[in-house]
Structure 1
Amino acid sequence: MDLVRLNLEKRDAVGKEACGRLRRSGYIPAVLYGPDYREAVSVQVKAEDFLPNIRGTHWNTLKFDAVLPDGSSEMCIIRDMNRNYVSDDVLHVDFYQLVKGHKVSVKVPIEIVGKETCAGVKAGGLLEQRILDIEINVLPREIPENVVLNVESMNVGDSITLADLDLPESAEMDKDPSEIVVEVVHGKAASSEEVSEEEEEAAEEMA
Structure 2
Amino acid sequence: MSHASYELKAEKRERVGKGSSRELRRNGRIPAVIYGDKKDPLSITLPYKDVTLKIHNGGFMTTIATIDVDGEKISVLPKSYQLDPVRDFTMHVDFLRVSANTQVTVAVPVHFINEEKCPGIKIGGVLNIVRHEVEFHCPANSIPEFIEADLEGFKIGEGIHISHIKLPKGVTPVITDRDFTIATIATPAGGVKEEEEVTTETEE
Structure-2 separation of matches of 1:58 and 1:117: 29
4+ runs of 1 displaced by more than 3 Å? 113-119, 191-196
- 2:166 maps to 1:166: yes
Letter of the 1:159 partner, please give it.
G
For the pair shown, the structure with the greater C-alpha radius of gyration is 1
SS in 1 for 2:20: helix
Which sections of structure 2, spanning at least 5 residues, go unmatched?
A: 198-204
- CA shift, 1:90, in A, is 0.7
Structure-2 separation of matches of 1:127 and 1:73: 45
Give the match for residue 128 of structure 1.
128
Give the match for residue 149 of structure 2.
149
Give the match for residue 34 of structure 2.
32
Question: CA 1:141–1:187 in structure 2 vs 1: closer, same or farther (change >3 Å)?
Answer: same
- CA shift, 1:112, in A, is 2.4
User: More helix by proportion, 1 or 2?
Assistant: 1
Structure-2 separation of matches of 1:32 and 1:116: 45
- CA shift, 1:141, in A, is 2.1
- CA shift, 1:152, in A, is 4.8
- CA shift, 1:177, in A, is 4.0
Count of equivalent residues:
194
Cα deviations by residue, 1:72-102 (Å, 9 ceiling, x for unpaired): 2121111010111111111000011111223
Task: Give the stretch that moved more between structures: 116-125 or 172-181.
Answer: 116-125
Give the match for residue 94 of structure 1.
94
Contact 2:64 2:141 (8 Å CA) reproduced: no
Give the match for residue 61 of structure 1.
62
Question: CA 1:167–1:104 in structure 2 vs 1: closer, same or farther (change >3 Å)?
Answer: same
Percent sequence identity over aligned pairs:
26
Which sections of structure 1, spanning at least 5 residues, go unmatched?
A: 197-207
User: More strand by proportion, 1 or 2?
Assistant: 2
Letter of the 1:179 partner, please give it.
F
Contact 1:119 1:153 (8 Å CA) reproduced: yes
Contact 2:74 2:97 (8 Å CA) reproduced: yes
Structure-2 separation of matches of 1:44 and 1:85: 21
SS in 1 for 2:53: helix
Question: CA 1:83–1:98 in structure 2 vs 1: closer, same or farther (change >3 Å)?
Answer: same
Question: CA 1:131–1:171 in structure 2 vs 1: closer, same or farther (change >3 Å)?
Answer: same
- CA shift, 1:105, in A, is 1.6
- CA shift, 1:114, in A, is 4.1
- CA shift, 1:182, in A, is 0.9
Q: Please, what TM-score do these two structures have when normalized by structure 2?
A: 0.85
Letter of the 1:107 partner, please give it.
A
Structure-2 separation of matches of 1:153 and 1:60: 33
Give the match for residue 8 of structure 1.
10
- CA shift, 1:186, in A, is 0.8
Contact 2:125 2:192 (8 Å CA) reproduced: no
Give the match for residue 204 of structure 1.
none
Letter of the 1:144 partner, please give it.
P
